[in-house]
Chain A
Amino acid sequence: MTPFELAQPASLAEAIALLDPNDTAIRPIAGGTALMLMMKMGLYEPQKLISLRGIEPRYSEVAATADGGLRIGAVTPLRQLEMLPVVAERAPVIAHTMRRLSNVRVRNVARLGGHLAHGDPHLDLPPVLIALGATLAIAGPNGERTIAVEDLFQGYLETALAPDELIVEVNVPAAAAHTAYLKHTTRSADDWPALGIAVALDMQGDSVSGARVAIGAATDTPRRLTSVEAALQGEALSDAAINRAGEAAAAEAEVHSDARGSAAYKRELIRVFTGRTIRQATGREA
């Protein structure tokens, strides 16, 4: 790694002022896991890093909201999402996802905001948060704006954040009644996944009254699968309906061959895992 300047501001406002909209050699750092990997590989050589570790404590806090959801500060370590009872209670799929997200050491350090702002499609929480309908509060020199998590991801490692903007909060609405996230790794259990699928379903009697389905890892960016959502809407979850949802997912997702599998194999994974995730969410036998 090459030397750089390290600034350690004590407030969000100072941190934003230290960023430069025209200079990508200046970057924020919080946990630093992803950034350290890129710097060690020589893929990124910063002039200056702005640490977010010292900004106001509210950006590292998790709070229950009046609507039954969660407000999660962007500097919150992932380990908190695993351990805090309020997360397990209000969005159990988030706590459950932590069990297979990297390892305890990485979760002790990595922060939610960086996990999202990195823009890597192989990460686990983007599809989960998209399925939950979460939104992001983004702060910049001209104040705050809100976007849906699904609108953050613009391309491989590319996001809708300007260089002088920071994710400050993640707002998760009250979770759907039936949620699940499954991922599949094709080499070792701790490898980056070939596929991640998140499902959030509300049921009225036997039929689906609301569905959000999101995919990660197999596609360029984490994204919603709207044709699957449409296929599930109003359906009783028969084997035939679940199979149709899997077919729709495999048809909609644009996948490419890489070291984790051929495009044909990934389409088959998507078809099968869409069904498995729906069954897991609704307590059916896989």
Chain B
Amino acid sequence: MSRHTINFTLNGRPVTADVGTHQNLTEVLQESFGLFGARESCGQGLCGCCTVLIDGAAVTSCLALAAFADGSDVQTVEGLADGEELSPEQEAFIEIGAFQCGYCTPGFVLMTRQLLDENPDPDDDEIKHYLSGNLCRCGAYPEIVQAVRLAGEKRRAR
């Protein structure tokens, strides 16, 4: 009973995994699926590096029991692009250069996805509010806020 078989949708594809009840979702994404876009950094829900979307809502995957992903729709940064075509959020971060080392970027991009899904035209205060739980130790915050604005423009134009 300390292992569970879970079925969920991962980046649009149905998948199955055999997980220990004590495993968190970051570990399972890395170990069972080779997806390293979500990475554990602070381990406490403060930094946002392990952000994934579960049923469209951003979640701290290092604090999420993998067993609870059963039946849900999980999206990681690896699933945002459509083939070679990057998502508007990804394009915007690259065009603005909204990172230096890039370690935190998947988390920022996925938080941006939830924000723009809920509010297609956020002002800077709203952007900062949504991103307050994501830390960029390179300090690219001004560019990140710019990138979110650009991502919003790109999405509204599509």
A interface list, Cβ under 8 A from B: 1-6, 29, 32-33, 36-37, 39-40, 49, 51, 53, 79, 99, 102-106, 108-109, 189-190
Q: Whole-angstrom distance from the CB of B133 to the nearest CB of chain A?
A: 2
Task: Establish whether residues B64 and A109, one from each chain, have CB atoms under 8 Å apart when the complex forms.
Answer: yes
Task: Establish whether residues B133 and A102, one from each chain, have CB atoms under 8 Å apart when the complex forms.
Answer: yes
Does B63 interact with chain A (Cβ within 8 Å)?
Answer: yes
The binding surface of chain A is classed by DSSP as mixed
Q: Whole-angstrom distance from the CB of A204 to the nearest CB of chain B?
A: 36
Chain B window 53-83, contacts with chain A (Cβ cutoff 8 Å), 1 for yes, 0 for no: 0000111100111011000000000000000
A1 vs B63: C-alpha distance when bound (angstroms): 11
Besides the known contacts A1-B23, A32-B68, A51-B68, 6 further A-B residue pairs in the complex with CB atoms under 8 A apart = A32-B63, A33-B63, A40-B43, A105-B111, A106-B60, A190-B133
Task: Establish whether residues A2 and B60, one from each chain, have CB atoms under 8 Å apart when the complex forms.
Answer: no
A172 vs B129: C-alpha distance when bound (angstroms): 27
User: Which of these, A37, A53, A104, A106, contacts B68 with CB under 8 Å?
Assistant: A53
Chain A residues near B129 (CB-CB < 8 A): 99, 104
Chain A residues near B51 (CB-CB < 8 A): 105
CB closest residue in chain A, given B46? A190
Chain B residues near A106 (CB-CB < 8 A): 45, 60, 133
CB closest residue in chain B, given A191? B46
Does B87 interact with chain A (Cβ within 8 Å)?
Answer: no
Task: Establish whether residues A36 and B2, one from each chain, have CB atoms under 8 Å apart when the complex forms.
Answer: no
User: Which of these, A3, A36, A51, contacts B63 with CB under 8 Å?
Assistant: A36
A5 vs B2: C-alpha distance when bound (angstroms): 5
Given A6-B21, A190-B46; A104-B111 close (CB under 8 Å) = yes
Q: Can you list 8 A-B contacts with CB-CB less than 8 angstroms, sorted by A residue number?
A: A1-B23, A3-B20, A37-B45, A37-B63, A40-B43, A105-B60, A105-B111, A108-B59
B interface list, Cβ under 8 A from A: 1-2, 4, 20-24, 43-46, 48, 51, 57-60, 63-65, 67-68, 111, 114, 129-130, 132-134
A84 vs B37: C-alpha distance when bound (angstroms): 32
Chain B residues near A29 (CB-CB < 8 A): 65
Q: Whole-angstrom distance from the CB of A283 to the nearest CB of chain B?
A: 21
Given A104-B111, A108-B58; A6-B45 close (CB under 8 Å) = no
User: Which of these, B2, B44, B111, contacts A37 with CB under 8 Å?
Assistant: B44
Task: Establish whether residues B48 and A6, one from each chain, have CB atoms under 8 Å apart when the complex forms.
Answer: no
Chain B residues near A40 (CB-CB < 8 A): 43, 63
Task: Establish whether residues B24 and A36, one from each chain, have CB atoms under 8 Å apart when the complex forms.
Answer: yes
Task: Establish whether residues A102 and B45, one from each chain, have CB atoms under 8 Å apart when the complex forms.
Answer: yes
Chain B residues near A3 (CB-CB < 8 A): 2, 20-22
Q: Whole-angstrom distance from the CB of A210 to the nearest CB of chain B?
A: 33
A49 vs B68: C-alpha distance when bound (angstroms): 12
Given A3-B22, A6-B4; A103-B68 close (CB under 8 Å) = no
Task: Establish whether residues A33 and B45, one from each chain, have CB atoms under 8 Å apart when the complex forms.
Answer: yes
Task: Establish whether residues A109 and B60, one from each chain, have CB atoms under 8 Å apart when the complex forms.
Answer: yes
Task: Establish whether residues B22 and A4, one from each chain, have CB atoms under 8 Å apart when the complex forms.
Answer: yes
A255 vs B123: C-alpha distance when bound (angstroms): 40
Task: Establish whether residues A103 and B133, one from each chain, have CB atoms under 8 Å apart when the complex forms.
Answer: yes
Given A3-B2, A190-B46, A190-B133; A105-B59 close (CB under 8 Å) = yes
A106 vs B46: C-alpha distance when bound (angstroms): 9
Task: Establish whether residues A190 and B132, one from each chain, have CB atoms under 8 Å apart when the complex forms.
Answer: yes
Q: Whole-angstrom distance from the CB of B78 to the nearest CB of chain A?
A: 19
Task: Establish whether residues B133 and A104, one from each chain, have CB atoms under 8 Å apart when the complex forms.
Answer: yes
Chain B residues near A190 (CB-CB < 8 A): 46, 132-133
Chain B residues near A49 (CB-CB < 8 A): 21
Chain B residues near A5 (CB-CB < 8 A): 1-2, 21
